[in-house]
Structures are given as C-alpha cells and as structure tokens.
Amino acid sequence: MENFDLLNPTKLVFGRGTIARIGEEILAGGHKKVLLIAGGGSIKKNTVYDQVIASLKDSKIEWTETWGVKPNPVLSKVREMIKEAKESGAEALLAVGGGSVIDSAKAVAVGLYIDDVWQAFEAKKPIEKAMPVYSVLTISATGTEMNQYAVVTNEEEKKKWNIGGPALYPKVSVVDPSVQATLPWNQAVNGALDTMSHIMEYYFMDGEAETALTLNESLLRSIIKMTDKLKLDPNDYDSRANLAWAATLALNGTSGAGQAGGDWACHGIEHAISAINPAVAHGAGLGVVTPAWIEYVQDTNPDIFRRWAENVWGGKDIKDGVVAMREKIKEWGNPTTLAEFNIKESQVEEIASNAVDFGLTGSLKVLTKEDIMEILLLASPEV
Amino acid sequence: MENFDLLNPTKLVFGRGTIARIGEEILAGGHKKVLLIAGGGSIKKNTVYDQVIASLKDSKIEWTETWGVKPNPVLSKVREMIKEAKESGAEALLAVGGGSVIDSAKAVAVGLYIDDVWQAFEAKKPIEKAMPVYSVLTISATGTEMNQYAVVTNEEEKKKWNIGGPALYPKVSVVDPSVQATLPWNQAVNGALDTMSHIMEYYFMDGEAETALTLNESLLRSIIKMTDKLKLDPNDYDSRANLAWAATLALNGTSGAGQAGGDWACHGIEHAISAINPAVAHGAGLGVVTPAWIEYVQDTNPDIFRRWAENVWGGKDIKDGVVAMREKIKEWGNPTTLAEFNIKESQVEEIASNAVDFGLTGSLKVLTKEDIMEILLLASPEV
C-alpha cells in the first residue's frame, strides 16, 4: 500500500432540501456579496435557481449573475467571467450547476489573481491562491464539488487541460440529489460512467491495497446497481442519492488513498477526444475509451484486471469484464465506439498527439503516441 | 438515504517513514512549543519516541513531556495533565500513542479553557474551543486520529463518557503502520474488533443507502481478511496498512454518511462494562457485546441483518452471521463471553443502569435497562 496525504477542507451538505442552507453557509464564511455563475438556464426550470435566490435573500447576501457556461467549458468564457467578477465587487463565487459550471468558477477564482488564467494551466503547479468558491451541484459526475481540480478547454489551441491545488477546494458544496430527477437519462448515464472511470483510474494501480480495492469494487457495483434502478424509475430518490454520494467519494480522496495517484490515461485520451469534438460528453467518451484501454494494457498486471472482471462484473476472465462493461453501456443507451461520435480514422493521430501533449498518458503503463493510436483503433472497430 | 453534513479538517499523513514529518507539520501550523503526551513507555521501545524527538529537533520545536496515560484513560490523569499543560507554556499538544493517549490529549485541550474538564462531558454540547492537537498514532482502532470525539472514564463515578465537537479534530495526524509491527497480537485483534464495531454501528441503520451499505461490507471483509493475514505474518506491512486505513475510514465520516448517525448501543453497553472493569479492552468488550446485541434486536430489521450475514460472512441467515462472527473472534484468540472478563451475574444490573445513565442506548431499537440486561445475559451463557 502506497503512502498518501489526505486533507479535504470542503464542507459537504448533502440531502433533500439542503439548497435552502447555501445563504447561511456563505454568511458563515464571512461573505456578503457573491457572483452567481450558471449554465444555460435549466436551473430556472427545475426550481434550483429560485431555491438559491430565496436562500441568498434570507441571509441578506447580495449577488450579481453571469450565465452561459456550456458542457466542456471553454477558456474564452472563463476570461469573460473573470472581468465580470472584477467589476461585480464579489467577495466569493457561487457556482450553481454541474461540473462545468463549478470548474469554470474555480478557474475564475484563480484568474482573479494572475495576469491571464491560462498561465495557471500551463504552469502545472499547485494553485495556492483563489477566491472562495461555494457550489450548489445539479449533476453528480465529476466530483469537483469536493475536490481541488478543474478542467477547462482552450478552444483556440484545442487543449482540454486541468488545474489543481489546495485553494481550489470549494468552501461549501450543497448536493441535493432530488433536483437531479429532471436530468435527461443520458446525462445520468454519463455521470455514472465518469464516476466509474474515476474509481477505475485509481483501482487498477493495485498496490496490495486490499481496503482500497474492495472499497472501490463496492462503489462500482453500487453505481451499476443504482443506475439500473434509476432506468426503471427516474424519480427514485435513493438511487440518485447513492449515485451522488458515490460520485463525490470517487474523487474526494477516499477512492484514491493508497493507490499511488492513479493512472489517468483514459482521462487524458478522453480529454483529447472532446477537445477535438466538444460535442462528446466526458462520461460518454470515457465509456468508449476505458474498455479499449483495458484490452490494450491488460498484460501489464493481469491479476488486477481479472479481479475487476470477477468482483465487479461476475466474470471469470478479463475478457468477460470488458464484454460485460460494453454490454451494460449499450443497455444504458450510450455509445461504445468512436464511430458513434463521428470520429474519423484520419483524426486518430491528432487525438493521440493532443493526449501526449498534455501529459496524462498513464502510470500503470506509460503510453506513447503509438500506444494511444492503437487504443483509439480498438475503441472503434468501425473506423 | 438520510441527509448528512461532512467536514473533516484533519490532515492525515499516512505511510512508512512519515513520523519524520511531524515537526514540519507543527511548524506549518504556527506552533513553536508543544506538550508531548504519552502512555507507558512502549514508544521508547519501538523507536517512535526517537523518531518524534528527531523530527521536533529538526524543525526547532521546543517540547516538554508528560507520561502515564493508560488504556481506558481516566479523568484524574487528564486533570493532572491540564495543570502540566498550563505550566509548560505549550501552544499545542502532541499526542504520541494509541487512542487513549490521543483522547486524553483532546480532553486536556478542552480542559484548558474551562473550570473543570468534566463539565464538558456533562454538558453534552459540541466543543467549539480547544488547544490544537497533533498526533502520531501507534495503534489503529478508535479512529480518533481523524475525528472529533474523545472518551474518558470518570473513575470515581464509574462513567466512561465521551465529548465531541469541531474543535476536537486533530490538526494533523501521522499514521505509520510499520510501527504497529511490534504490537501484541491481542491488541491488533482488539483494534480490528473496535473498527468493525464502528462500521456496524452505522451499517445496521440501513436506510436504502446502497453506497454506504456495500462500502461498509467491503470494509468489514477487508478487516477480516487482513487480520487473518496478519495472524500468519505479524510483520506484513500491507495487512497493517490496510487495517489502519480501514480504522480511519470507519469513523472519519465516510462509513457513517447517510446512515442517520448510527445506532451506538453496543458502544454504550461496552463503555458501561469497562467503566466497571477497566481491565476490559474496548475492542474485546465490543466483540462480546455485538453478537448478543444482534441476536436480541434482529427482528427490528431482519433484512439488514440477513444482508450482513450473507455479504460479510457468506451465511444464509442471520444466525449464520452471528455464529461466524463468534467463531472468528475465538479463532483470533479473543473472548466471546462476559464470563471471560470475570463479570458476575450480580453486576449485570449495575452495567445496564450505567449504560442507560449515559444515554447511548440505541437508535435502530432504543433499549431499556431491561433490554440491556437481556443482552448481557445473552453475551454470557456461563453467567
């Protein structure tokens, strides 16, 4: 088992009816004016916006608003919001939305203290200074509500890169799973696949860490079981809540403890895919890449891949696990090949170059550009 | 799934060779002088003391020392150490030892700011003010290294009570599992049983919390597997490390999230037993009480007890789980009856009264004094 440090200063407020508490939490943090950062307007349809505003008013918190963050959030929008944050006189940021909204808020929080925010992405150093970020999460998937990371796409340079550091933990994150009842089915599936990928990025590192391995297997099984249950009844609160809690655990330090930092090649490859085609949802991309990655790297440590096939999918050998995972993704209605994203064979080299350029090319097996091209070809028999 | 808040501000530094970092962590916390609190001297035999002192010297931290904390730590000793802490001019406390040492340090930290420390135990209100506590853990069991609780026995009144509150989280806790290699076997077993009990106190609350349930089952299975492995090879680092990490997870907010605060009747009963007979180790007492409690309360929610029997012990019905748990405890060489603690039938009523007096008498089923007496009789067929 590998050494690790764990310090997670985010306060998580989890459960039904908890959005009403965001105002008092911001007040307790000593802030009287916030910039509310949001996406395309779904929070106005599902009552989240009204609940947030009522809570801000109750606690006499002033606010201004900025809208328009999109999935796979982009640098140009972050730069625009940094200007707005400066002009607003906000003392803290309040992200209301999914992972893209919270990640954008984190990037804004950093950008307020440096010349240009992209410098922080290029520097690849821990972020030590940022404006406090509060969040109300509306889609459980990325785990950003309780971690120190943010991912933004530089659309000019086609780079989907991340930043991380102690200043990026949200002060308080409110997760009310009941508001996720109105999410489209495919977004729930993408969230589940993103969560599963976070867990697997750590899991396959193995390292004689029985507690971490069995804990991560149990999280994977719970996600599969709860997603199946949600398919039968989208209004089942407990399925949403269990998925939401698993998504937070997957990337708040719990899943990864003792797992040597994880592998992250699948994330690197997926980022390269959605940098080139922003219509690819992160979770959907991971669902296509991960089984192909397993097929390609399995010989590096067959024991851990066999254990995964047995304990997560009830299979006998590695192939059973890969087949079961692809079948489950199909059953949930999600793509299992790159062809379904309209990715052409001619783009495979560009994607591989992009992934290598960012540097997240694996730890269990460090992948070359050629390795990544092989994986991309395995991911799409129809290419 | 029940609502919950989660905020754990303790920094956990986990792994081989990490004790060397305690000095720099105290310095980073802004403290230049500490009171080192310790037990009976085992840390001088297993090199922990030397490692701590070397680290303090490296970081130019001044220190004074107070020794003599015993298992089931007592109020009189805490009062004595509060005086010493005042006289020492320490800015923080450094607990070096097991749960008893860390809990004593937490009580000292509280007692420095009130007339008499026992008032805090009687008040049963969250502790908001305490001197910062740092810890170097030498026995994984209670989880106190990363939580807000402390248990102390008022020996005059025979009350083993606890305090809790946000000010009681250690600032930094260092857990180097390699130093636990010299622990006597029965202490390792007691630690495993204490950890298992913490998990089960939450687990049996059920509440449609699939993620919490399967996570807790996986922790229980890992503890059993790693303890079995440790029995074969006491020097196996990975077994120690996996047990240590499970012990921290069991009571740092992870295991209990969504589980409605847990039941805690077994803890209440065990505290009453070791208040009357301080020679009973906490984990050993829990190993005797828990199977009897399950036998007595199983009808309250048979589904969850059956699930436990199946998923943790591979049994078909509840009885299989209870039998398997007792067999495993025997196999590990620990007692399974109160008679083995020399507890007499004449003491059963006194223990039950003491437990009711403290108030931890269950949530899944709220126990009366008579219920507790029945459980105590089930726990000891020979009484």
Contact, A100 vs A73, CB < 8 A?
yes
Confidence class for position A383, pLDDT limits 50, 70, 90: very low
* B10 conformational bin, left if phi > 0, alpha if psi -120 to 50, beta if neither: beta
Residue recorded with tokens 């796409």: A153
| Number of Cβ within a 10 Å radius of residue A254 | 23
* A235 conformational bin, left if phi > 0, alpha if psi -120 to 50, beta if neither: alpha
Rounded CA-CA distance B271/B151 in Å is 9
Please give the mean pLDDT across all residues of chain A.
Answer: 95
In degrees and rounded to multiples of 5, residue A142 shows phi and psi of -80, -20
Partners of B163 in the β-ladder: B150
Rounded CA-CA distance B150/B75 in Å is 12
Residue recorded with tokens 């930092």: A261
What sign does the dihedral B266-B272-B278-B280 (CA atoms) show?
negative
- Residues of chain A in contact with residue B221, where contact means CB-CB under 8 angstroms, are 214
Q: Which residue is closest to B212 within chain A, CA to CA? A: A242
DSSP string, A166-198: GGGS-SEEEE-GGGGGGS-HHHHHHHHHHHHHH
For residue A12, give the H/E element and its range: strand A4-14
Report chain B residues touching chain A, CB-CB < 8 A: 1-18, 177, 208-212, 214-215, 217-219, 221-222, 225-226, 237-238, 241-243, 245-246, 249, 254, 257-258
pLDDT tens, position by position, B234-265: 999 999 999 999 999 999 999 999 998 999 99
Provide the 3-class DSSP secondary structure of residue B96: strand
Please give the mean pLDDT across all residues of chain B.
Answer: 95
DSSP string, B103-172: HHHHHHHHHTTSS-THHHHHHT--------EEEEESS-SS-GGGSSEEEEEETTTTEEEEEE-GGGS-SE
Q: What is the pTM of this model?
A: 0.96
Instruction: Name B123's Cβ contacts closer than 8 Å, sequence gap at least 6.
Output: none
pLDDT tens, position by position, B121-163: 999 999 999 999 999 999 999 999 999 999 999 999 988 889 9
Contact, B344 vs B276, CB < 8 A?
no
pLDDT tens, position by position, A233-282: 999 999 999 999 999 999 999 999 999 899 999 999 999 998 888 899 99
Rounded CA-CA distance B101/B94 in Å is 10
- Contact state of A242 with B217 under an 8 Å Cβ cutoff: no
* Angle (CA) B223 A303 A226, round 5°: 65
- Contact state of B211 with A4 under an 8 Å Cβ cutoff: no
Q: For residue B293, count CB atoms less than 10 angstroms from its CB and return exposed for 0-12, middle for 13-18, buried for 19 or more.
A: buried
pLDDT tens, position by position, B85-115: 999 999 999 999 999 999 999 999 999 999 9
Out of B211, B217, B222, the one facing A245 most closely (by C-beta) is B211
- Contact state of A13 with B5 under an 8 Å Cβ cutoff: yes
| β-strands B133-137, B149-154 pairing | unpaired
Q: Which tokens belong to A259?
A: 């797992």
- Contact state of A6 with B12 under an 8 Å Cβ cutoff: yes
Closest CA to B191 of B254, B226, B139: B139
Confidence class for position B171, pLDDT limits 50, 70, 90: very high
Q: Tell me the average pLDDT across A317-328.
A: 97
A200-223 b/e (C-beta count within 10 Å ≥ 16 → b)? bbbbbbbbebbbbbbbbbbbbbbb
Rounded CA-CA distance A357/A348 in Å is 14
Q: Which tokens belong to B368?
A: 């009366």
pLDDT tens, position by position, A343-372: 988 899 999 999 998 777 899 999 999 999
In degrees and rounded to multiples of 5, residue A31 shows phi and psi of -110, 140
Q: What is the pLDDT of residue A158?
A: 84
Contact, A173 vs A145, CB < 8 A?
yes
DSSP state at residue B345: G
First to last CA, chain A: 40
Q: What is the pLDDT of residue B1?
A: 93
- Contact state of A6 with B11 under an 8 Å Cβ cutoff: yes
- Residues of chain B in contact with residue A222, where contact means CB-CB under 8 angstroms, are 210-211, 214-215
Residue recorded with tokens 């991560």: A216
The lowest-confidence range among A195-199, A272-276, A281-285, B300-304 is: A272-276
First to last CA, chain B: 40
Residue recorded with tokens 């399967």: B214
Closest CA to A170 of A11, A5, A13: A11
In degrees and rounded to multiples of 5, residue A370 shows phi and psi of -70, -40
DSSP state at residue A364: S
Work out how many CB contacts closer than 8 A connect A with B.
131
For residue B173, give the H/E element and its range: strand B172-175
H helical segments located in chain A:
22-28, 42-45, 48-58, 75-88, 99-111, 118-123, 185-203, 210-232, 237-250, 265-276, 282-297, 302-313, 318-331, 348-358, 369-378
- Residue A153 vs residues A97, A162, B193: alpha-carbon distances, Å: 18, 9, 49
Out of B4, B225, B245, the one facing A257 most closely (by C-beta) is B245
Q: Which domains does chain B have, with CATH numbers?
A: 11-178 (3.40.50.1970), 185-378 (1.20.1090.10)
pLDDT tens, position by position, B44-61: 999 999 999 999 999 999
- Residues of chain A in contact with residue B241, where contact means CB-CB under 8 angstroms, are 1, 209, 258
Rounded CA-CA distance B209/B2 in Å is 8
* A351 conformational bin, left if phi > 0, alpha if psi -120 to 50, beta if neither: alpha
Q: Which tokens belong to A147?
A: 């971690």
| Number of Cβ within a 10 Å radius of residue B17 | 10
DSSP string, A30-79: T-SEEEEEE-SSHHHHSSHHHHHHHHHHHTT-EEEEE----SS-BHHHHH
Chain A interface disruption, residue of B8, B218, B240, most A CBs within 10 A: B218
- Residues of chain B in contact with residue A242, where contact means CB-CB under 8 angstroms, are 1, 208-212
Q: Which residue is closest to A170 within chain B, CA to CA? A: B7
pLDDT tens, position by position, A56-111: 999 999 999 999 999 889 999 999 999 999 999 999 999 999 999 999 999 999 99
Rounded CA-CA distance A95/A39 in Å is 9
Contact, B211 vs A245, CB < 8 A?
yes
What sign does the dihedral A366-A275-A250-B244 (CA atoms) show?
positive
Q: What is the pLDDT of residue B382?
A: 56
DSSP string, B160-172: EEEEE-GGGS-SE
Residue B275 clears pLDDT 90, i.e. is over it: no
Closest CA to B248 of B362, B169, B331, B329: B169
Q: Tell me the average pLDDT across A178-200.
A: 96
Q: What is the pLDDT of residue A381?
A: 67
